[in-house]
Chains A and B, each alone.
Chain A
Amino acid sequence: MSLLQITDLSLSIHAYEILKRVNLTIAPGEIVAVTGESGSGKSMTALAVMQLLPGGARASGSIQLDGQEILTLPEAQMCALRGAAVGMVFQEPMTALNPVKTIGDQVMETILIHEAMTPDRAEERAREVLTRVGLPPDRFPLSRYPHELSGGQRQRVVIAMAIALRPKLLIADEPTTALDVTTQAQILDLLKGLVQEYGMGMLMITHDLAVVADMADHITVMRHGEVVEAAPTQRLLTGMSHPYTRMLFAASDHRVTLPAPPPPAPLLKVSDVVRDYALPRTRLFARPGHHRAVDHVSFTLNRGERLGLVGESGCGKSTLTRAILGLEPVQSGEIRLAGQPVFDGKRANPEIRRRMQVVFQDPYGSFNPRHRVDRLVTEPFHLLDTPPTGSERSDRIAEMLTAVGLSPDDAGKYIHEFSGGQRQRIAIARALIIRPQLILFDEAVSALDVSVRAQILDLLAQLCSEYDLTYLFISHDLSVVRTITDRVLVMQSGRIVEQGDTEQVFSDPAHPYTRALIAAAPQLPETGARQA
Chain B
Amino acid sequence: MLRYSLKRALSLTISLAIASLVIFAVIEIAPGDPASFMLGVNAQPDTLAALRTELGLDQSKAERYVSWVTGMLRGDFGTSYTYRTPVSQMIADRLWVSLPLALYALALSTAIALPAGIYAAARRGKPGDLAVMGATQLGVAVPNFWFAMMLVLIFAINLRWFNAGGFAGWDKGLVAGLHSLTLPAIALALPQAAILARVMRSALLDILGEDFMRTARAKGLTRRQALWRHGLRNALIPVLTIIGLQFSFLLAGSIIIEQVFYLPGLGRLVFQAISARDLIVVESVVMLLVFAVITVNFLVDLAYAAVDPRLRSRT
Contacts and interface: CB of A to CB of B under 8 A. Distances in A.
Q: A–B direct touch, CB within 8 Å, in complex?
A: yes
A83 B212 CA distance: 14
Interface in A78-104: 79-84, 87-88, 90, 92, 95-101
Given A98-B234, A99-B212, A109 B310 contact: no
B309 A284 contact: no
Nearest to B230: A98
Given A99-B234, A113-B221, A148-B313, A90 B215 contact: yes
Contacts of B307: 100
A95 B212 contact: yes
A99 B308 contact: yes
A79 B221 contact: yes
Contacts of A148: 313
B45 interface: no
B218 A75 contact: no
Given A109-B229, A147-B310, A284-B3, A96 B219 contact: no
A76 B222 contact: yes
Nearest to A105: B229
Given A50-B218, A90-B211, A114-B220, A100 B233 contact: yes
Nearest to B210: A95
A161 B225 CA distance: 17
Contacts of A87: 218
Contact of B215 (A75, A114, A145, A161): A161
A110 B211 contact: no
B220 A113 contact: yes
Given A90-B215, A99-B212, A83 B220 contact: yes
B315 A280 contact: yes
A158 B315 contact: no
Contact of B310 (A84, A110, A145, A158): A145
B217 interface: yes
B174 interface: no
Interface in A127-178: 145, 147-148, 158, 161-162
Interface string B227-259: 001100110000000000000000000000000
Contacts of A280: 314-315
B141 interface: no
Contacts of B233: 100-101
A84 B215 contact: no
B6 interface: yes
A516 interface: no
A52 interface: yes
Contacts of A113: 219-221, 225
Interface centre among B214, B216, B307 (most CB of A within 10 A): B216
B220 A284 contact: no
Nearest to A282: B3
A26 to B, nearest CB: 18
A98 B216 contact: yes
Interface string B1-16: 0010011000000000
Given A79-B220, A79-B222, A161-B219, A52 B214 contact: yes
Interface string B197-224: 0000000000000111011111111100
B309 A97 contact: no
B53 to A, nearest CB: 45
A434 B221 CA distance: 57
Interface in A420-451: none
B240 to A, nearest CB: 13
B6 A284 contact: yes
Nearest to A143: B309
A109 B226 CA distance: 11
Interface centre among B3, B211, B218, B310 (most CB of A within 10 A): B218
Interface in B243-284: none
Contacts of A80: 220
A97 B308 CA distance: 14
A95 B222 contact: no
14 contacts: A83-B220, A87-B218, A88-B215, A90-B215, A90-B218, A92-B211, A97-B212, A98-B216, A99-B212, A99-B310, A109-B229, A110-B220, A145-B309, A280-B315
Given A52-B217, A52-B218, A99-B310, 14 more contacts: A75-B222, A76-B222, A79-B221, A79-B222, A82-B220, A83-B221, A84-B220, A90-B214, A95-B211, A97-B215, A98-B234, A113-B221, A147-B313, A284-B7
Sorted nearest first, the 5 A-B pairs with minimum C-beta distance are A83-B220, A83-B219, A95-B211, A82-B220, A88-B218
